[in-house]
């Protein structure tokens, strides 16, 4: 994998996280190409990671062994149009990270026989703690899956799925999921400040609690429900907090949020 040239089309939030993961796993930054119209973002990628910035998506597509499509879903069709010709000649591995766009759309716009992976990473990729789901054509050779796994694993965990719907469901969990946890952290930090703690102390307490809870849940075979119960002494403080969550129908709020993601992904598949 380290001998491959990986080209990123779009150098925004998610691409930056993936590039950070690749560079951290010793991928030669000279073998990472990026096209990014925003000059400030482009310069930061070059100065922070030493990657090579290019101006033209077709030029990048003519040089890369792996192309990561990291643009917003609404401009994906125009990007695919730009790279269609060079990729048909070279047949690089195409990895899209765009939400909602089904695999068939890439086949339609790039032509038959292309090795295409649809994936859904998440921003903790930046610190190699990402969770990525991916799907691809079953008839592609095993080496394609191996290469895609190697590229995506630079960001953390990789799991393979079967269908576009699987990936939309994963988007509701791990793709968008970091935002749910960040939102809870935001709310807890604001609450801690209202209780009179300084912003600095509030942040420290919240982040270490989130980190500790995730680490414990990963290392302990107990379910999240059991871990929650272990914190909750009968008649104690935590029970009161959980009563307040229940009064706000927290499980329903979370479920509604996740259903909304899957619904939006389905809409995006029709729009893009
Ligand atoms: N953010 C996340 O947590 C995740 C995002 N994704 C997916 O990743 C993709 C990118 O999202 P995200 O990184 O958040 O978005 P960003 O807007 O941060 O990044 C997209 C970048 O692409 C640039 N761009 C626009 N047009 C072109 C073009 N023609 N050629 C090359 N680059 C272009 C944009 O520049 P400009 O702003 O100047 O237009 C922007 O910097 C989306 O499809 C999203 O669904 C997937 C998983 C998680
Ligand atoms: O919000 C989005 O559409 C993207 C996909 C998953 C996370 N961010």
Ligand nearest to the CA of 177: 2
Ligand nearest to the CA of 78: 1
1 pLDDT higher than 80: no
Structure ipTM over 0.85, yes or no: yes
Segment 84-110 mean pLDDT:
95
Q: Is 176 helix (H, G, I), strand (E, B) or coil?
A: coil
Residue 261: pLDDT band with limits 50, 70, 90 = very high
Q: What share of the chain in percent tops pLDDT 90?
A: 92
Residue 214: pLDDT band with limits 50, 70, 90 = very high
Which of 92, 44, 100 minimizes the C-alpha distance to 72?
A: 100
Which ligand 2 atom sits closest to the C-alpha of 175? 6
113 pLDDT higher than 90: no
- Rounded to the nearest integer, the mean pLDDT of the chain is 96
Most ligand 2 atoms within 8 A of CB, residue of 18, 131, 167, 176 to mutate: 176
Return the bridge partners of 69, or none: 9, 96
pLDDT given for residue 26 in this prediction: 86
Contacts with 93 (C-beta within 8 Å, 6 or more apart), sequence order? 65, 66, 67, 115, 117, 144, 147, 148, 151
Most ligand 2 atoms within 8 A of CB, residue of 16, 171, 260 to mutate: 171
Other Cβ atoms closer than 10 A to 262: 16
70 annotated to a ligand binding site:
yes
Write the DSSP symbol of residue 28: -
Which ligand 1 atom sits closest to the C-alpha of 179? 3
CA distance 237 to 172: 31
Q: Nearest 5°: CA angle at 17, between 270 and 187?
A: 80
122 annotated to a ligand binding site:
no
Which residue is closest in CA terms to ligand 1's atom 43? 98
Alpha helices in 51-194 (DSSP H): 57-63, 76-90, 103-110, 142-153, 164-170, 177-194
Pick the CATH number of 177-269 from 3.40.50.300, 1.10.1030.10, 1.10.3730.10, 1.10.3720.10: 1.10.3730.10
187 pLDDT higher than 90: yes
Pocket of ligand 2 (CB under 6 A): 99, 171, 175-176
Which ligand 1 atom sits closest to the C-alpha of 41? 41
Segment 27-55 mean pLDDT:
95
258 annotated to a ligand binding site:
no
12 annotated to a ligand binding site:
yes
Which residue is closest in CA terms to ligand 1's atom 24? 10
Say whether 177-269 and 6-163 share the same fold.
no
| Domain boundaries of the chain, sorted by first residue | 6-163, 177-269
pLDDT given for residue 126 in this prediction: 87
Which ligand 1 atom sits closest to the C-alpha of 38? 38
Question: What CATH number was assigned to the domain covering residues 6-163?
Answer: 3.40.50.720
Per-residue pLDDT tens digits for 153-168: 999 999 999 999 999 9
Ligand nearest to the CA of 262: 2
156 annotated to a ligand binding site:
no
59 pLDDT higher than 90: yes
């Amino acid at each position: 994998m380290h001998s491959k040239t990986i080209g990123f089309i779009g150098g925004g939030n998610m691409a930056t996280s993936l590039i950070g993961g690749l560079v951290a796993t010793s991928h030669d930054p000279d073998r990472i190409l990026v096209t990014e119209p925003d000059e400030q973002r482009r310069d930061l990628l070059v100065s922070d990671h030493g990657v090579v910035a290019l101006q033209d998506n077709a030029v990048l597509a003519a040089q890369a062994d792996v192309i990561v499509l990291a643009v917003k879903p609404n401009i994906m069709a125009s990007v695919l149009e730009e790279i269609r010709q060079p990729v048909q000649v070279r047949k690089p591995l195409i990895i899209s990270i765009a939400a909602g766009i089904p695999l068939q759309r890439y086949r339609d716009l790039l032509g038959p026989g292309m090795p295409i992976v649809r994936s859904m990473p998440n921003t903790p990729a930046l610190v190699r703690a990402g969770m990525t789901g991916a799907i691809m054509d079953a008839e592609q050779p095993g080496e394609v899956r191996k290469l895609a796994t190697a590229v995506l694993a630079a960001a953390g965990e990789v799991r393979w799925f079967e269908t576009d719907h699987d990936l939309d469901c994963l988007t509701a969990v791990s793709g968008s999921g970091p935002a749910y946890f960040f939102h809870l952290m935001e709310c807890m930090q604001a609450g801690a400040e209202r209780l009179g703690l300084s912003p600095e102390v509030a942040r420290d307490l919240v982040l270490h609690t989130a980190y500790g809870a995730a680490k414990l849940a990963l290392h302990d075979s107990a379910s999240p429900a059991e871990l929650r119960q272990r914190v909750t002494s009968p008649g104690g403080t935590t029970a009161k907090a959980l009563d307040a969550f229940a009064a706000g129908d927290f499980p329903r709020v979370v479920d509604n949020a996740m259903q909304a993601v899957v619904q939006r992904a389905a809409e995006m598949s029709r729009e893009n």
